[in-house]
Amino acid sequence: MGKPTGFLEYDRCENGMRPPLERIRDWEEFHIPASDAVRREQGARCMNCGVPFCQAGVQFEGKQLGCPLHNLIPEWNDMVMDGNYGHALARLLKTNNFPEFTGRVCPAFCEQACTCGLYDAPVTVHDNERAIIEHAFQHGAMKPRFTDHASRKQVAVIGSGPSGLAVADQLNHRGHSVTVIEKHPRAGGILTYGIPNMKLPKTVVQRRIDLMTDEGVTFVTGLDASDPEIAQRLKREYDAVVLCCGSEEPRAIGVDTAGVGGVYYAMDFLHAAVDRQFFGRESDVPTAEGRHVVIIGTGNTASDCVATSIRQGCASVTQLVRRGREDYLVNGNLPQDYAQQEAEAKFGADPRVFSQSVAGLKTDEKGNLTAIVTKSGEEMACDLLIGATGFAGCRADVCEAFGVERERTVKTEKGRFQTSVPHIFTAGDMHRGQSLVVHAIAEGRACAVEVDRFLMGYTNLE
């Protein structure tokens, strides 16, 4: 695949990024797509390696090796090189329902496994994937697809995040009648409410939901299925129900916050920002404007909180990182993601403070947060503390309403998606625990196979 000598002839060239001080003035996407000529050269760097570890999608020594979706990467890289975007799209959609999402927010396990990266820079798989799907949308290739076979089976999918959308998309194309139920006013789950617009534009999410609607999927928003009466009605009226409600219980910050104003969890903060900025809905969660913000955590969500705080006009922003700086070094250097670049450009320093955690809080006479005390005894000005500390598991109320067994996640047999209630299934973070969008899509696809077999007695889904 690709040009046999392409990796020797062309250097890796990633999509560009708008300068930090420019992009923090708005909420628009900050990546700049490369030209078609550059993209074809990047496709040509795929080196016909013989064993494409990029698409392996296996766990090796506790780490992810290659794409969890088993994307046919060498094949569509070859087609990108030839400018054959139509065939590239066909191969991409064979394994990935939503390349426009993974092409923006996936950590690119494929590139980490790329053979070309052993002695040189890996192929720009992530950027190539995005280029294929965006070319398709821009040139009218993403048209509604319909099946001639209708099973007359009714499926309810609870939750419209990446796993729920993947389940719905697969089962709809199989011929089942699918209704997606979302408790929030807008569909998309974490794609809409948890990932900032500059990383994943809301128009991109809505574009996909509109396409799925045109293909026959029904979306019902503003309906909370944790209500026992609603849950019982769904159990009665649908042949199968799939719970894809995510992992929403935040992990505790680790300090007593009772009665303290100004302490929030990351998803509440990000959700409020989206509601306020894009949907015109106010929230009890304040903005970061004029505030000294401290964020506990160092993952993608923490970075999104940093970037959001900067765009809202914070007075300062600090990331407290529990582990030492040496744990994050790569070849002696400290990598920065987009948010850390922005913080340094805005405030003159990387926002991360390593080997630190919150030991105590200081408040004014009204109970509002004014400062934090770190474990080293240092006092930091802080009137907005955000916990990006991960998630402890899925919500108990949904599980109780549907009568399924739950520990940290919904209980199923190992490698299966069927719950303790025969016609109720689960997928995504609710099933596997806190994870990534690409894993959620893979979960949704695998769950759809099991649901289809349950409904039909056999399956022809991959």
Spatial separation of the C-alpha atoms in residues 356 and 272, rounded to whole Å? 27
pLDDT given for residue 418 in this prediction: 97
Bridge partners, residue 380, by sequence: 372
Burial of 262 (0-12, 13-18, 19+ CB in 10 A): buried
- Beta strands at 369-374 and 379-381: parallel, antiparallel or unpaired: antiparallel
pLDDT given for residue 141 in this prediction: 97
Spell out the domain ranges in the chain: 6-138, 154-248+392-456, 263-389
Has this prediction a pTM greater than 0.75?
yes
Mean pLDDT of 55-60: 90
CATH topology agreement for domains 154-248+392-456 and 263-389: yes
> Which superfamily does 263-389 belong to?
FAD/NAD(P)-binding domain (3.50.50.60)
Spatial separation of the C-alpha atoms in residues 48 and 56, rounded to whole Å? 15
- Per the prediction, the chain carries an average pLDDT of 95
pLDDT tens digits for 408-420?
999 999 999 999 9
Provide the token pair at 240.
């199968």
Residue 74: CB atoms within 10 A of its CB come to 22
Confirm if 240 and 452 have CB atoms less than 8 A apart.
no
Spatial separation of the C-alpha atoms in residues 350 and 337, rounded to whole Å? 10
Torsion of CA 428, 429, 435, 441, to 10 degrees: 10
pLDDT given for residue 208 in this prediction: 98
- Beta strands at 391-393 and 249-250: parallel, antiparallel or unpaired: antiparallel
Residue 218: strand, helix, or coil: strand
Spatial separation of the C-alpha atoms in residues 83 and 81, rounded to whole Å? 6
Provide the token pair at 292.
């000294």
pLDDT band at 1 (very low <50, low <70, confident <90, very high): low
Q: Does domain 6-138 have CATH number 1.10.1060.10?
A: yes
The angle that helices 300-311 and 266-278 make with each other, rounded to 10 degrees, is: 40
Fold of 154-248+392-456: FAD/NAD(P)-binding domain (3.50.50)
